Each structure stands twice: as C-alpha cells, then as structure tokens.
A = this chain, B = another copy of it.
Amino acid sequence: MTKKYRTPDGYTADIAVFTIVTEESKPFTPPVMSLNLLLIERAKWNAEGELNTEGGKWALPGGFVGVHENALQAAVRELKEETGIDCVHMKHFGIYDEPGRDDRGWIISNAHYAIISEDDLRQIKANDDASDVKLVNINDVLQLELAFDHRQIIYDALSVIKSELLQTTAAKNLLQDEFTYSELQAVLSTVTKDPAILNEQAFARKIKSLPFIEKVEGKTTQRTSKKATQLYRFNEVEVVKPIYTGRY
C-alpha cells in the first residue's frame, strides 16, 4: 500500500437553525414574515484568557461529536445546550472536509439544518443570557463576517432550506398545526417570488386542491381577517413532482 492515510483530528456537528419571525402583527391582518438564521458570536477569549480561534466572528452553533453518539445526536444535544431549544426537525445536509478548513487540524464538519417554529423560538428568549446569540434575516446573513468556512456552509444551507420549503412539506414546521392560506403564503413568500404562490385569490383556491393539505372541517380563526377564515392542516401525504410532468 503506497498511500499514506491520516485520521481526522476532530469531527464536529454544525447546525443552521432556521426560524420564522413575524415582523408585523396587527390584529385581523395577515402576517408579514421573515426567515431567519440563528448565529452565535464566538467569544474573543477562551476560559484560559487566550485569544480564541476566529473569536469575535459569527458562526453556526455546534461542537464536537461525543464518544457514544453520532453527529445528528450531537447536533440535537448541542442545540439544546447552547440555546435551550428542543429540536423538532433536524437533518444532515452536507459535509465539510477540506484539509485546511480549520487551523486547528483536520476537522470534519457534519452540517445540519434545523427548522423551529416561532413558538419554539420563545424558549430562547427565556433562556436569554445570550447576548451572543442573534437571528439574522436570510437575505442579510451572507454580509456578516463569518468564522471558518461558515460562509460556504450557510450558503449551502440557504439553498437547501429554500428547496425544502418549496419541494417538501417542511413548511409545516414553521407554522402552527392549523393555519390559514395567508399564513402559509407568508411562509412561502420568504423563499419564492412565484406569482402562482403569491397571488391571493389563486392561492386561496389552490390550497383546497393540494393533496397534502386538508381543511379542518368547520374550524376558523380571526387571526388574519375580520371575516372568519378557514383553517387547514398538513396531512401525511407525501408528494414528488417530476420535472417531466405538469406545466411550465
């Protein structure tokens, strides 16, 4: 065997935590939402008073994978430790293993994204000693000074969350169990400009024919309008849309 191999110096789990923030919320009015990413500011100094690697920059929460766990379990654990959030939807989306991506050695990062609802989010605010935690609008996040290769990881995470929200029923994790067409629309509008989704009347009609969404019979809310508004919920139907069928 002529090749020289090397064992990695570390294996970490990083987490891109996405959440919806309702920007305006007048009574009887549909929400205006933004999709945000949770970042933490790396401490400038470590416990021993030395300058920290990439200190002061913004980074994804995460940390080293422990002895008896895999990266997904580590990601769930770290998120709980660092922000107090009990995660609902956590999923691997990429691996970052470029030699030299971290000065401290050959550290392999297993990147996950998490989706948490606005309700879950309130747990953070409770847990809040965290002046070093903030939510950043996904449209602004790439402007920040980011640690390590987290710019790349976040760029990839944004692509993933955008296509997940449009191509799967992942939006359910950003909404209450029962929601109005305009609330779903508000979530989707954070990741698409498609007029078929953004037009009110069109979407109000369309939602009734989506196989993976069902009407909650006889149940309405006045959250978004003075007129009582029909509630819907996601059911368990899974759908795939081949690019070779349907209309363009």
Q: How far is the CB of A237 from chain B (nearest CB, A)?
A: 10
Task: List, in ascending order, chain B residues with CB within 8 A of A206's CB.
Answer: 244-245
Tell yes or no: A223 within 8 A of B by CB: no
The copy count of this chain in the complex is: 2
Taking a contact as CB atoms under 8 Å apart, the answer to whether B92 and A71 are in contact is: no
A68 and B99 in contact (CB under 8 A), knowing A167-B241, A194-B242?
yes
| Alpha-carbon distance A210/B70, docked complex (angstroms) | 42
| Chain A 1-48 residues near chain B, CB threshold 8 A | 3-11
Task: List, in ascending order, chain B residues with CB within 8 A of A196's CB.
Answer: 244-245
| Alpha-carbon distance A71/B99, docked complex (angstroms) | 10
Task: List, in ascending order, chain B residues with CB within 8 A of A97's CB.
Answer: 11, 65, 70-71, 110
Taking a contact as CB atoms under 8 Å apart, the answer to whether A8 and B7 are in contact is: yes
Taking a contact as CB atoms under 8 Å apart, the answer to whether A247 and B247 are in contact is: yes
Tell yes or no: A126 within 8 A of B by CB: no
Task: List, in ascending order, chain B residues with CB within 8 A of A175's CB.
Answer: none
In chain B, what residue has the closest Cβ to A12?
B5
What would 6 A/B residue contacts be, using CB atoms closer than 8 Å?
A68-B99, A69-B99, A168-B243, A206-B245, A210-B248, A241-B246
